[in-house]
Amino acid sequence: MNLHLTHIKLAILSISMMIFTCKTSSTNSLHPVILIPGSGGNQLEARLTAEYKSSSLLCNRWYPLKKDPDGWFRLWFDPTVLFKPFTKCFNKRMMIYYDPDVDDYHNAPGVETRVPSFGSTQGLLYLNPNLKSITSYMEPLVRSLEEVGYVSGSNLFGAPYDFRYGLAAEGHPSIVGSKFLSDLKNLIESASNSSGGRPVILLSHSLGGLFVLQLLDRNPTSWRHKYIKHFIALSAPWGGTVEEMRTFASGNAFGVPLVDPLLVREEQRSCATNLWLMPSPKVFDRTKPLVITRNGSYSSSDIAQFLQDIGFPEGVRPYKMRVLPLVQSLPSPQVPVTCVFGSGVRTPETLFYGDSGFEKRPEVVYGDGDGTVNMVSLMALESAWDGRENQSLKVIKIPGVSHTSILKDGTALGRIIGEVSGINYEISTSLLRWV
């Protein structure tokens, strides 16, 4: 009897694979996929105007070495920023500033920026196409999608953005971030319409997941049901990270040996999305110390005081007015959601700063997570949406896979592509479940 059932299962599996093979031969049968990167996950370009005032002759004459005829050059990622004199030039051009009079952020004076290749996967494959081997980002994921029938520009698209600019709570402007949501909405509609009305699969990494959740929440349910088939979020920091507190306190070189964390700290503090990634009191235990010093400790409910005490008082107002109300809820989009993330990777959980204050690297106590995002943040939707009607949520943990390696690791890519394929070919799953 068991052997008979096994034969039936194998026969149905063969039929399912035949269906899968036939469908992958036609891109028209696939739901379009739109990739939304994380912070630092796409290229940025800049151009200097007459208003720009450099602090050094070196920056004026020698950085950058290459510009196009209209003056545009690669701002992110340019490897020359790894060298100290050019790091200072980069910082000044990369920084953004909060203007309390207009309650929004803007570029440094005399610096124009743009995001190349919106709608295309080109800006997501490599952070610098001249250094493919060391700046590969979504290239392995894109190639894996292409292997199952996706074609870039036909049913596979990219949505790069200026990752320095975040969103703000209702009633507060965020011109750059809101423009990205508008562009993403238009891309979703265009991708769906060009695929015979098939709804879209949104596939995000890290910070991109927060933007997608806000996009879904800010559009009517009828629009979501018409245009969104599924939302797959990779390594999404739903409630922020403890690592972000280290970035604000003492800078973060992310393991790059030539870069002094304190040298990049000012630029990192200026980034609006970094404020958005502070540990949320909605997700992290409000009473648990995350940063401990000789003079006291800070939990997720003390972020404003923490910003004041580390010497960044200009961050207090935008955090309290724009960010804190934004993270008070994790809205349910009423479309199917799958969260895929790594686990079992040492992740900063508590930071200890000694007598030297915030100018030195802290001692770190580690906990579970993906090496960047804490497990409580990765799992936040499960508790926030518990018992919600009309909300499907699937959680996939992949042991030993880090925050960034999820885009390259063979096992992780297999699970991600399996989810995309399953969404496209649900008939196979239902047949096997019947047996």
- Catalytic (active-site) positions: 206, 370, 403
HEC profile for the chain?
CHHHHHHHHHHHHHHHHHHHHHHHCCHHHCCCEEEECCCCCCCEEEEECCCCCCCCHHHHHHCCCCCCCCCCEEEECCHHHHCHHHHHHHHHHHCEEEECCCCEEEECCCEEEECCCCCCCHHHHECCHHHHHHHECCHHHHHHHHHCCCCECCCEEECCCCCCCCCCCCCCCCHHHHHHHHHHHHHHHHHHHCCCCCCEEEEEECHHHHHHHHHHHCCCHHHHHHHEEEEEEECCCCCCCCHHHHHHHHCCCCCCCCCCHHHHHHHHHHCHHHHHCCCCCCCCCCCCCCEEECCEEECHHHHHHHHHHCCCHHHHHHHHHHHCCCCCCCCCCCCCEEEEEEECECEEEEEECCCCHHHCCCEEEEECEECCCEHHHHCHHHHHCCCCCCCCEEEEEEECCCCCHHHCCHHHHHHHHHHHHHHHCHHHHHHHHHC
